[in-house]
Chains A and B, each alone.
Chain A
């Protein structure tokens, strides 16, 4: 019974990614699903920081954007097949994480949040100012059909059509999700949870909190780089917008709305939140996202508990450690009031982005 319940979210995720393109093959649906898949990986990588380690970051888009930028440069240099490009982006993101994490992770809590905000703004300002970084206003474009064939020559895929690119994105999304779920069960992430809950005690046992935070930041930046590269494959473009504060805010909103304690919480948030960030792809996004987000958060008091039971279950390794699980639940409850406070905000954001969609057409 428990096993079946633990598989349910996975089945839902795979069905969400795989079924619609066959049932309803519209280009905007593919665009929305590709955006969602990107956002799922992005939000899950963000949750490694916020949910697992208790680090609030305001500059998460920097890792994704810089990872995607590095991937685009490598791809344009002709060195990499498209299939493994997300890995390159991930490594690029992780390198940025090594650099920024060194400065940011010496502090935690509010100071960490502010430092990441400063670093994020630094990257944004640098992307605008420095020549040859992001190619100015135009951004750095790739032609995804142009790379050296690797696996694709076997299947005869060039990844030029949106369908083939989407298949690659969805595959990478599932792979990254599985990897992050596996990561969240490792002893290292348990230590990260300990650092989140009681840093002094963790330090007394011998786990240096700042080192653990550093490690989590690098891992999270790795997955953020993968997410950024998935976005690059989808849009064939990386621009200054992809490091911008809007994107950092969007992933924060998606993760908080979805719930941080459960592994699949951010996935739900990303699925709801991606129409908000998908500009010009969905006219209906306004009402839909507003309704779903409002409904989700309206029932926060009851819904979060259900949510934690439902979506904690994939990480059944937790159940043996009931105290850890209790703590996770307390964490959800602690975020509830904040989520209630977010409700009008989410609605307004949806409305605004919806308006922008309409004006973009």
Chain B
């Protein structure tokens, strides 16, 4: 039970990290109508750039510099490539981002090599924050949660309160009307794309010490982020938050549990063949996000909080 609380906290921090990625993805999707397939690659690029920056000027400045660099790169991608393709429809845009994902993956391999790098945790954030009945909660995870929550607060504040947010929200639904009022809607698009990629890079920077920095990190986390966005409902920010926390907690709890599949099925009264029954829930953890996806879509084709507005 005591470790359950800690695991839940770990799950929440992982879920918030997922949300930082899926928030940018959702914003870009609801604005451009296209899912940025290269989003996870920007996350990876953020981790790599952060690693290089941290080696020179330290951890705290990397938190600012890496998202800025990657955000500028994202803006460039939107401005010079995506904008050209836009008039041809969504499918070419999606294909272009797939291509960009491959390209970024290759660039990272060329620039930083194939071997995994490990990002150090700064001394201030190293060590346990508190311990509960013998199980400890890492200080760095608390920091991660704090950054994610601060980002969430800033996002809500900017979108809900500021005038910029008003224009962005209006441009999401009525781009022509906003343009008629004299606002530069394409520039708003570029800005949102840059902000989304910068968020992904920030997630890469603060997530890097927990995972290994390697060229495969984009694929391993990327597919989970896409699953999160679909489970939450494409284009729904609150849905993305809900799904991120759900997936984060389910996966973390499954990894930490020592229940086997046979035990679970025996509750329902069924018996499995021994080699299946011996599988632990921890072994099945990589499957769970996708199973969750299938379950949610079977009952709610539009995701948890998705709108039923796209045709057929």
Interface size grouping (class) on chain A? 35 or more
Q: Which of A122-145 contact B (CB under 8 A)?
A: 122, 125-126, 128-132
Given contacts A117-B226, A203-B312, A341-B99, contact A56 B94 (CB under 8 A): yes
* In the bound complex, CA of A126 to CA of B287 (Å): 7
Q: Which of B189-229 contact A (CB under 8 A)?
A: 219, 223, 226-227, 229
The answer to whether A122 and B290 have CB atoms under 8 Å apart is yes
* Stretch binding the partner chain, chosen from B2-10, B67-75, B85-93, B166-174: B85-93
The answer to whether B102 and A334 have CB atoms under 8 Å apart is no
The answer to whether B92 and A129 have CB atoms under 8 Å apart is no
Is residue B156 within 8 Å, beta carbon to beta carbon, of the partner chain?
no
* Stretch binding the partner chain, chosen from B53-61, B176-184, B238-246, B291-299: B291-299
Q: Which residues of A contact B219 (CB under 8 A)?
A: 245
Is residue A103 within 8 Å, beta carbon to beta carbon, of the partner chain?
yes
The answer to whether B91 and A56 have CB atoms under 8 Å apart is yes
- A281 CB, min distance to chain B CBs, angstroms: 22
Is residue A291 within 8 Å, beta carbon to beta carbon, of the partner chain?
no
The answer to whether B311 and A200 have CB atoms under 8 Å apart is yes
Give chain B's interface secondary structure class.
helix
Contact among A113, A114, A119, A249 for B294, CB-based, below 8 A: A119
Given contacts A113-B35, A115-B297, A118-B227, contact A338 B85 (CB under 8 A): yes
Is residue B143 within 8 Å, beta carbon to beta carbon, of the partner chain?
no
Report A's interface with B, CB cutoff 8 A: 54, 56, 103, 106-111, 113-115, 117-119, 121-122, 125-126, 128-132, 199-200, 203, 208-210, 245, 249, 252, 256, 333-338, 341-342, 344-345, 348-349, 352
Given contacts A118-B294, A341-B100, contact A334 B92 (CB under 8 A): yes
The answer to whether B275 and A349 have CB atoms under 8 Å apart is no
The answer to whether B230 and A118 have CB atoms under 8 Å apart is yes
Is residue B103 within 8 Å, beta carbon to beta carbon, of the partner chain?
yes
The answer to whether B297 and A103 have CB atoms under 8 Å apart is yes
* In the bound complex, CA of A338 to CA of B227 (Å): 25
Encoded as 1 (CB less than 8 Å from any A CB) or 0, chain B from 24 to 66 comes to 0000010001110000000000000000000000000000000
Give chain A's interface secondary structure class.
helix
The tally of CB-CB contacts under 8 A between chains A and B is 136
The answer to whether A110 and B290 have CB atoms under 8 Å apart is no
* In the bound complex, CA of A106 to CA of B287 (Å): 22
Q: Which residues of B contact A337 (CB under 8 A)?
A: 84-85, 88, 92, 96
Q: Which residues of A contact B88 (CB under 8 A)?
A: 333-338
* In the bound complex, CA of A132 to CA of B234 (Å): 36
The answer to whether A338 and B92 have CB atoms under 8 Å apart is yes
Closest 3 CB pairs of A and B: A122-B290, A338-B92, A334-B88
The answer to whether A341 and B230 have CB atoms under 8 Å apart is no
The answer to whether A341 and B226 have CB atoms under 8 Å apart is no
- A230 CB, min distance to chain B CBs, angstroms: 26
The answer to whether B29 and A341 have CB atoms under 8 Å apart is no
Known: A56-B91, A334-B91. 16 other contacts (CB 8 A): A103-B294, A107-B301, A110-B34, A114-B229, A114-B234, A121-B227, A125-B286, A129-B287, A130-B276, A132-B275, A203-B311, A209-B312, A252-B98, A335-B91, A337-B84, A338-B88
Q: Which residues of B contact A249 (CB under 8 A)?
A: 102
Encoded as 1 (CB less than 8 Å from any A CB) or 0, chain B from 86 to 129 comes to 00111111111011101100100100000000000000000000
